[in-house]
A and B are shown apart, each in its own frame.
Chain A
């Protein structure tokens, strides 16, 4: 966005741009960092979605003639101790992991935003109660809680799918609540009351869309935390059970051969790092744009 638009000084009116051009301009206006981050994430998601087409071998296809062969053209990430193609396994693992991360990050988000928005909007007793509950949820050791849930429901991704959302909503609720406390005093929120709108409309239509942006930025960080959590659990053997692959379990498998076949553990690990870097850059870039007021 140009400074002219911000100041509203005379000049070519911004309205001349059609809606799609405005959106395109909004994307182009993002900091380079955010664009690179979004590119990395888009690439990983695309690769994960297309895993069955891209993967040269099945994820559990054994090949005892090529055990622990180093990366080559036919096996880009090499093979593991049972001759399975690490590249193919990584792609399938990424598919599972990204799906789980998306679920455990983006299902708690709207729930948390809604709870936080209501607490901030109504204030008083509602707010006090919600704020205390949030504090308790956040004070509780996250990892221990998820492991406790796994202890109840048994190993596998179910534990993560249940355990993470139980706590994660509180992170978004806390963020949304604090933003709401500030926004509540903004004239445009006052206007919703002065115009006789219902509280439901004020919260859902006017407050929540404004709260989403900081929460979405925060969610990029949360995704990384969740992917690491998932990898850690799989590494500990509490994630997807063999023979199904998760990034963490591939790394765990490759650990025993780390000195003779570094690729088995290292290359899937780098994929986790790549995801973390991508999400981090996207979040950082978005919040920069937000500070400058440059993003829609």
Chain B
């Protein structure tokens, strides 16, 4: 199947051109129509920037320095201002982490949704209001006629995020960019919002790029997972492949750091990942994860971070493959790679 969204070699820089700080370096991913792709990584790994790059909404003074972003065969980075507005209005929607400030505080939620229907779809005023109420109903707002008249501050965080989803998907985009949509919500509400995203995906064949730092969230809803670290994509593959057969030490470490319910009540210590992610000012040769990697080899500072296939749809940036099969000595493999 051809990809709905394809990102290749994305590079996002901050600072001046001579000595830029590279926040995203050579990141690539693809989203098929109707697919839910999870983008996971620590804070500062560049996952949000990658997500926002799709809409060309990289916050100033950041800029997209290189790479390709293709949506349905169209080059997003080459779009004119008018094409870009049209793309944002119809083809892609976006929701954010903070549902407390993502709605304009001075307008009723009905009017905010009606506005996007009127401006982007040319619906008449009365129709837009009626449809706004239907959309609120569609995202699981109870008693939508009356709730529609509320101002954002009168709603709970979960309800605001529902309203935001209704707003972002009002013009029926084929791709929803969800930038940590459940991070600010409690676990129960989080599950409801994720269920809503899955329902909308099923009803409308809408693809979702879900950014999160929580493997629990990713595991609940995603078809495929992209793991980012320090601006690089380090591993990508189908959800099951990544969970059962992660090949990159970072992915493994991330999975191992997820607490298990079974350990509740017993004193257990998750291994965690030693050290901290590199600063933007640090330029590391070869593998960016090497300083924190338990399986680091002498040759690691010379590898290219390019993704290599493991199996169908599963690629990793680690050529050492410390977890590949039994018997194959990692050192020998590392030597073979170089």
Contact surface of A with B, Cβ cutoff 8 Å: 5-9, 13-16, 19, 123, 185-188, 190-191, 193-198, 201, 205-206, 209-210, 293, 296
What A residues does B86 contact at CB under 8 A?
A: 196
In the complex, A296 Cα to B152 Cα: how many Å?
A: 11
Give the interface SS of chain A, mostly helix, strand, loop or mixed.
Answer: helix
Interface hits, B155-170 → A, CB 8 Å: 155-157, 159, 164, 167-168
Q: What are 11 A-to-B residue pairs whose CB atoms are below 8 Å?
A: A8-B154, A8-B156, A187-B102, A188-B101, A188-B103, A191-B94, A191-B164, A194-B93, A195-B167, A196-B119, A201-B119
Cβ of B105 < 8 Å from any Cβ of A? Answer: yes
Chain B residues with CB below 8 A from A6, complex form: 153
Is A195's CB under 8 angstroms from B116's CB? yes
Cross-chain contact A195 with B153 (CB below 8 angstroms): no
Would you call A191 and B102 a contact (CB within 8 A)?
Answer: yes
A-contacting residues, B74-95, CB 8 Å:
85-90, 93-94
Interface residues on B, range: 35 or more
Q: Report the separation of the CA atoms of residues A188 and B86 in the bound assembly, to the nearest whole angstrom.
A: 19
Q: How far is B101's CA from A188's CA once the two chains are assembled, in angstroms? A: 6
In the docked arrangement, what's the CA distance between A209 and B85, Å? 23
- Are A195 and B105 also in contact (CB < 8 A) when A13-B143, A296-B151 are? no
Task: Indicate if the CB atoms of B146 and A13 lie closer than 8 Å.
Answer: yes
A190, closest chain B residue (CB) = B57
- Across the two chains, which residue of chain B brings its CB closest to A8? B156
Kindly list the 7 A-B residue pairs having the minimum CB-CB distance in the complex, ordered from nearest: A196-B89, A8-B156, A196-B88, A187-B102, A15-B146, A194-B94, A14-B154
What distance in Å separates the Cβ of B155 from its nearest Cβ neighbour in chain A?
5
B residues in contact with A198, CB < 8 Å: 85
The interface residues of chain B lying within 8 Å CB-to-CB of A19 are 149
Q: Which B residues form the contact surface with A (CB < 8 A)? A: 55, 57, 59-60, 85-90, 93-94, 96, 98, 101-107, 115-116, 119-120, 143, 146-151, 153-157, 159, 164, 167-168
Residues of A within 8 A of B55 (CB): 193-194
Contacts of A193 in B (CB 8 A): 55, 57, 88
Q: How many inter-chain contacts with C-beta < 8 Å in the A-B complex?
A: 89
Find out whether the CB atom of A188 lies under 8 angstroms from the CB atom of B104. Answer: yes
Distance between A53 CB and nearest chain B CB, rounded to angstroms: 38
Separation of A13 and B164 alpha carbons in the complex (Å): 20
Q: A193-B88, A196-B120 are in contact. Are A14 and B168 (CB under 8 A)?
A: no
Does A209 contact B106, Cβ atoms closer than 8 Å? yes
Residue of B nearest to A9 (CB): B156
CB contacts (< 8 Å) of A191 on chain B: these are: 94, 96, 102-103, 164, 167-168
Docked Cα-Cα span, A43 to B164, in Å, equals 44
Residues of A close to B143: CB separation below 8 A: 13, 15
Instruction: For residue B252, give the distance in angstroms from its CB to the closest CB of chain A.
Output: 34
Partner pick for B96 among A8, A13, A190, A201, CB 8 A cutoff: A190
In the complex, chain A residues whose CB is within 8 Å of the CB of B155: 8
Q: Whole-angstrom distance between the alpha carbons of A81 and B95 in the complex?
A: 73
Note all chain B residues with C-beta closer than 8 A to A5. 153-154
| A194 & B85 in contact (Cβ 8 Å cutoff) | no
Bound CA–CA A260/B51 (angstroms): 79
Residue among A7, A188, A205 with most chain B CB within 10 A: A188
Q: Give the chain B neighbours of A190 by CB distance below 8 A.
A: 57, 96, 102
Whether the Cβ atoms of A195 and B168 lie closer than 8 Å is yes
Q: Which residues of A sit under 8 angstroms from B106, Cβ to Cβ?
A: 209-210, 296
Q: B151 — nearest CB in chain A belongs to which residue?
A: A296
The chain A residue with its CB closest to the CB of B100 is: A187
Q: Are A188 and B102 in contact (CB under 8 A)?
A: yes
Find B156's partner among A7, A15, A187 (CB 8 Å cutoff). A7
Complex Cα distance, B103 from A195, in Å, reads: 12
A13 contacts B147, CB within 8 Å?
Answer: yes
Instruction: Give the chain A neighbours of B94 by CB distance below 8 A.
Output: 191, 194
Beta-carbon contact of B102 and A195 below 8 Å: no
Is A210 in contact with B57, judged by CB distance below 8 angstroms?
no
**What residues on A are CB-neighbors of B60 within 8 Å?**
123
Report the minimum CB–CB distance from B127 to chain A (whole Å). Answer: 18
Contact A194 B57 (CB under 8 A): yes
